[in-house]
Every structure is written in structure tokens, then in C-alpha cells.
Structure 1
Amino acid sequence: MTRKQPNILFLMADQMTASALPFYGHPLVKTPNLSRLAEEGVVFDSAYCNSPLCAPSRFTLMAGQLPSRIGAYDNAADFAADIPTYAHYLRDAGYLTALSGKMHFCGPDQLHGFEERLTTDIYPADFGWFVDWENFDERPSYYHNMSSVTQAGPCARSNQLDFDDEVTFRAKRFLYDFARNGEQRPFCLTVSLTHPHDPYTIPQEYWDRYDHDAIDMPRVPYSRELMDPHSKRLRHVYQLDEDTLSDAQIRNARHAYYGAISYVDDQIGAVLKVLEETGLDQDTIIVFSGDHGDMLGERGLWYKMSWFEDSARVPMIVHAPGRFTPGRVRESVSTMDLLPTFAEFAHDGIAPEYAAPLDGRSLLPHLTGNGGHDEVIGEYLGEGAIAPLLMIRRGRYKFVHSAPDPDQLFDLEADPLELRNLAEEPAYLDLCKQFRDEVASRWDYVRLHAEVIASQRRRKLVSRALMKGRVTPWDHQPTFDASTQYMRNTIDLDDLERRARFPAASVE
């Protein structure tokens, strides 16, 4: 007999590096709610994004396809409306699909399969954040700079707090409404918070949860010897010179980042409380992940945009104790694998017929203890690069290739901090050649490079043109029908109160 389709609650945090979380070994950071999910769920110890930048990572996650296949090059890439997402597949399977929070959709389609979008996005939907590899030295004003670090510290309010407080409120209301409105369809609710993404500032309450003097400094501090060409370009992009930062500023930024993680944990805890209050937790699979990490000063780098572990590795938990035995997965997987996983959740463990080729692979074998893949393919095509930056993570090795730069090969079991580039050592020449041959067979590198440049040129022109004269924004505008909220004379008072109360009052 086919089981009832489970609800899916997908929780996302923005720019949360796995290494800063206690269930991945961090000794200071406090996340009681996430830690409970980890203890009761399946934790993926080696999960990665497929492109370490917000929009490309999210488009890839939603589509289950690599950036080059769907044109997800950078933070101003058009996410085409005809690309099937997990929201389309689940909606087609009978789900109510809803999004509360950030997904960084660029282009006129601001739904991409979601039936309901409960908030606007925190980031713009137009092409204004285009990347221009042909004019690398002309630095756009929207690029990251170091003010997020130099101005780090406590605040009373911020742009991101305004947004994430609304994200949490709307997500909670969705769950209450779902429980009391008699909806027969299962739901897939995506709750996507923007913290702990920089700027590194957080209310005093969260700052005070940590002893400032105990905040750990980067394990691998900046040194010129560690600066590969891409790392040098990243420091140029965000205007970081050798004398830009003091140790005090670095510690402040890390302190605020840890506070922001605790803030995220509190918001997730508030959503989980409603899930439990409504009884929806009994038939809901909870998935938690990030879109990419944050270097937090490691190797002298900040933010993301590289394939080093703190930038590319993300937390991932699947919590469904009644379905999957709690445990940990060592094999390398990626957020691109979530679409086929969600689709199989909806189809009783069987893959549906996909309308487009998938690059992601289901995580169900890992969740059920029946093997599973151990491979991540990645593409970085955004700011700070000058050519495609490709990554293969398989077994104990990570290989990074970009045509203008020397290759990088790391043995992550022997060298988790990536201090020894094996591509420079004679003993690994054969292995490097195998990886290079694989790159040549997987990608038409010259063609991919040309396609990225062509896309940048188009979007540069379109962005410039659409900002002249009358501007028609693409940003999502959430609408609420106030005529049906709260007390209205179109609804009998007793009937209104009965509908709104949950659980329903007993009748004697």
C-alpha cells in the first residue's frame, strides 16, 4: 500500500559554513534546535554546494542541474521560467508549495513553481549585479568590500533582521493556517533565512551569548605563500590589502557571525515549535541545509566564491526519525541532490519521470543505508573569476581547475585544511592527469567560457537599458487580502472565531 505523501519542511540558512556548527565539531557555537535535529536525524558530513555564490547555488539546488546547463552563472543570471524546479515537481505531484524568504530569483518569473510566496526577496530580481570578466579591473559598487568586517559588532536593528523576522512570522502563520483550514494536500514549505550572511552584525542579546575573548581566530591565517591566483583576485574584488584588517576586527566579525548562527537557530526553533503545536511534525520530513559557506578570514579570505572547504561545504540534515534511522553519512553529496530526493519523498521512494536531465542524484540510498554516490561536481562562474573554475570532489580528493591558473589537488583526509597542493608534486602527476582528462570529457571549456562572456554582455546591455526611463521592477510583491483577515462583518463572529481557533474548542 502506498504511504500518504509526507509534508516537507525545507529550512535554509544563507552563508552558513558547516565548520562553525557544533554537530560538525565546533566547540563554541550554540545551536540547541539544530543540534536536536542533528541528533535525531541523518547528518551529512561532506555536503557541498555546486557553485559557491548565492543565486547560482540556489538555482542549481532548485533545478537539480549544474549552473552551465541552466545558465546560472552569477548573482544576476536569468533563471528561466521553463526550467523545472523541485517546486514544480512537488506541485505536479499534488503538493501545496510555498516559499517564505530568500531564493534570489533573477528575472520576471518570481515563483518558479511555488504556489504561494509569502514574502518578497531581500535581493534585487533584475540584472544589475551582472559580472564582467572582460573588464575585471573595473570594480562594480555592489561587490563585497571589507566594511562588513571593519564595522562588525552589535546592533539594535539591521536590514537582514527586518527580513528574517518577517520570514519566520510568515512561515509560522502558514503552518497555523494549514493546520486549521482543512487543506487536504501535503505541503512543501521552504523557509529561507538570510543570516548568518554578512554584514556581521547582530543584536546585543546574541552577541552576549558568547565570551568575546573565547572567540577562536582563523585556523589558517593569511600568508602570501597561500595565495593562489584566484585567492589573490578575490582579495582584489573585496578590496582587502595586507594592512586592511586588525585581529580585533577579525574577532569581532567572527563573534557576530556566531551570534547570527544562534539567531538562525532561534528562528528555526520558533518554526519547529509551531510544527509540533499543530501536530504536523508527525508526518513531516524536515531538511536543513545552506547555500554555501563563509571563509571567515581563513587563509585571508572572506565570504564565499572559492572551492576551499569553508566556502563550499554546507550543513545538511534530514530529520524523519520514523522513516530514517539517525546517523551520519561520510560520502560527499551536494545540494543539487535535493531535487531528486524531494521528488522521491513525494512518490513513495520511486523516481518520477523527469522533464529535463538531472545532474543531481537522490539521497535516499544514503538515508536508508543502501549505499549511495560519493561525488560532487562544481562550477564557479561568478565574480572574482576570469574563467570557469571547475571542481571535482570524489573520495578523499578535491580537484580544482581553471585554465588561466595552476591546478589544485587536495587530499582532504590527510590535509583537511588544504595546505598542501598535491598538483605540484611528482607522485601525483598521474592522478592529476586523470582529473584533467575528466574535466576535458565533462566540459567543452572553451565553449563554456564563451557562453558565460556572451551572457554577461547581454545582461549588461539589458540592465543598462531597463534602468532608463520608466523602470518596471521584477521584484516579487506579496499581496494579502485584509478583507478576510481578523474580524469582518462579512463573516459571523462565532464562525470566524471557530475557524481561527486551533485546536478547535470542545463542544459540551
Structure 2
Amino acid sequence: MTKQPNVVDIMADQLAPRFCGTYGHPIAKTPHIDALAARGMRIDTAHDNAFEFRATVPTFAQYLMLLALGEADQGDQAIGDYCAEMTPWPVFMIRRRAFKYIHCDVNPPQLSDVARDPMATRNLAQDPDHAATAEALSVEIMERWDSAHLRTDINATQKSPRALHAAMDTGAGMHWDDNPTSDASQQDVRNHMDWTVAAGRYRFSH
């Protein structure tokens, strides 16, 4: 009986083959990936029978670099979420073909026809002529994301860096920017110092 081979499948999120040295990119340096490719099997064409990796990647991200380079649109859609500053709840967006739909639990939904209204100045979410589009995109967002659960997880993970920041901000804090590690106000002999003590520590005075 032939022994079954052990296969290790390594996937790098948001890394296209064309940006690896082993696939001929003239600038990108990827020595570790190139070394693995040299010792293993390089696949030039691969297909997945699923539209997206729901089990591993919660948000399907459309790769837009090819479109920016002038190549054919790979699906005419962009899907994303925003969970950072200036919003109390996660914000979700689906842009598919002419329409862009934005959902946030604490704000009214927004639907824009970006083909006719590129600046999204008119909200079509309550327009009867676009009710079916708005409803379909709203249902899709509810299927893709659990907003309340996501917000709970984000708030929980924020507690740790907040506690760390509070600890680092106690006393004489060290900032992340490039600052001298010594306090210049305490160097040489200053008027506020006892010079008989300072003279024993510093070579020069002023």
C-alpha cells in the first residue's frame, strides 16, 4: 500500500502570487516563501469550489489592486467592515455593481447608486423603487456579521490595551516618538541645584 503523503498548505492572507519573488516579481523580496517554494510544489492554477472562506475568514475582501492597475474587474464588488474610531457600533458595507449599502445598528441604513451618484449624496434606502435591493443587501449583512457579538468582542479586547496605557501613563511616561532619554534640565549645573553637590557629578558648568 502506498503511503499517503503529508501535505502542508500555507496560506498568506491578502498575498497575491504575483507579488512573490518565486513567481517572478522584480522588486518584492520574499526569501522565506521562495525557499519553501523551491523545496515544495508551486501551483500556478488553483480553484476553490466555495465563494468565500466562511470558516476561516469572517469578511470576504475583494482584491482591488488588479482593478487599480487597469485590469478587468474580478467581481465588481467590495465588502468590508469598520470597527475603529468615531463609531459606537461596527459599520458594514457592501458595494456590488452600481449600489453601495452601509449598515450600522445605531444609524439608519444608507443605499447609494454610485454609478449615477458617485459622491453618494442621495440615500435610496427608503426609496420604494429600490426597496428590493435594500432588503436583499440588509439580509446579506445580517447573514455575514453578528454585530452585537462583534461589538462585545471588540470592547473586551480594548480593555487590555486601556489597562496597559493607564499603567504606562503613571509617573514619568516614556513617549513613543524619538526623545532624548536624559532630562536636559538636570544636566550641567543649574541655578536650582546645590552646586557643591552638582559639581561632583558634572564635568562642565555654565
TM-score (norm 2): 0.55
Corresponding position of 1:393: 95
Corresponding position of 2:134: 432
Asked if 1 retains the 8 angstrom alpha-carbon contact of 2:110 and 2:123, the reply is yes
Provide the rounded CA distance (Å) in 2 between the counterparts of 1:462 and 1:3.
42
* Match 1:6 to one of 26, 35, 42: 26
The residue aligned with 2:32 is: 92
Task: Please tell me whether residue 466 in structure 1 is matched to residue 160 in structure 2.
Answer: no
What is the letter of the counterpart of residue 165 of structure 2?
Answer: S
Match of 2:121 in 1: 419
AA aligned opposite 1:416: P
Equivalent residue number for residue 107 of structure 2: 405
**Which secondary structure state, in structure 2, belongs to the residue aligned with residue 418 of structure 1?**
coil
Tell me the CA shift for residue 430 of structure 1. Answer: 1.5
Alignment of 1:261-272 (within 5 A): none
Out of 131, 156, 169, the residue aligned to residue 454 of structure 1 is 156
Alpha-carbon distance between aligned partners in 1 of 2:73 and 2:119, rounded to the nearest angstrom? 27
Corresponding position of 2:190: none
- Does structure 2 retain, via aligned residues, the 8 Å contact 1:407–1:423? yes
Distance in 1, Cα, partners of 2:45 & 2:63 = 10
CA contact (8 A) 1:399 1:407 kept: yes
Q: Give the Cα–Cα distance (whole angstroms) in 1 for the partners of residues 25 and 43 of structure 2.
A: 7
Question: Post-superposition shift, 1:384?
Answer: 1.8
What residue in structure 2 maps to residue 383 of structure 1? 85
Q: Deviations over 1:290-330 (max 9, x none)?
A: xxxxxxxxxxxxxxxxxxxxxxxxxxxxxxxxxxxxxxxxx
User: What does the per-residue CA deviation read over 1:452-490, in whole Å, with 9 as the maximum and x for residues that have no partner?
Assistant: 2222333222210122257566779xxxxxxxxxxxxxx
Residues 319-368 of structure 1, C-alpha deviations (whole Å, 9 max, x = no match): xxxxxxxxxxxxxxxxxxxxxxxxxxxx79667xxxx7584455586569
Paired with 1:384 and 1:446, the residues of 2 have a C-alpha distance of 17
| Preserved CA contact (<8 Å) 1:3 1:348 | no
Q: Distance in 1 between matches of 2:174 and 2:34?
A: 34
Q: Which amino acid aligns with 1:436?
A: S
Deviation, 1:379, is: 1.6
What's the offset of the Cα at 1:369? 4.8
Q: Secondary structure at the match of 1:451?
A: helix
Unaligned runs of 5+ in 2: 1-21, 36-41, 47-55, 179-206
**Amino acid across the alignment from 1:464:** A
Distance 2:44 2:114 in 1: 32
Are 2:159 and 1:445 aligned?
A: no
Within 1, Cα distance between the matches of 2:141 and 2:90? Answer: 11
Q: Highest Rg: 1 or 2?
A: 2
Return the TM-score normalized by structure 1.
Answer: 0.24
SS for the counterpart of 1:93 is: helix
- Let me know the Cα RMSD of the aligned residues: 3.6
The number of residue pairs the alignment matches comes to 141
Shift of the 348–369 alpha-carbon distance from structure 1 to 2, 3 Å rule, reads farther
Could you tell me which residue of structure 2 aligns to residue 188 of structure 1? none
Task: Please tell me whether the aligned partners of residues 399 and 408 of structure 1 are also in contact (alpha carbons under 8 angstroms).
Answer: yes
| 1:61-83 per-position Cα deviation (integer Å, ceiling 9, x unaligned) | xxxxxxxxxxxxxxxxxxxxxxx
8 Å contact 1:349–1:364 — kept in the other structure? no
Say which structure is richer in helix: 1
**Overall identity of the aligned pairs, in %:** 28
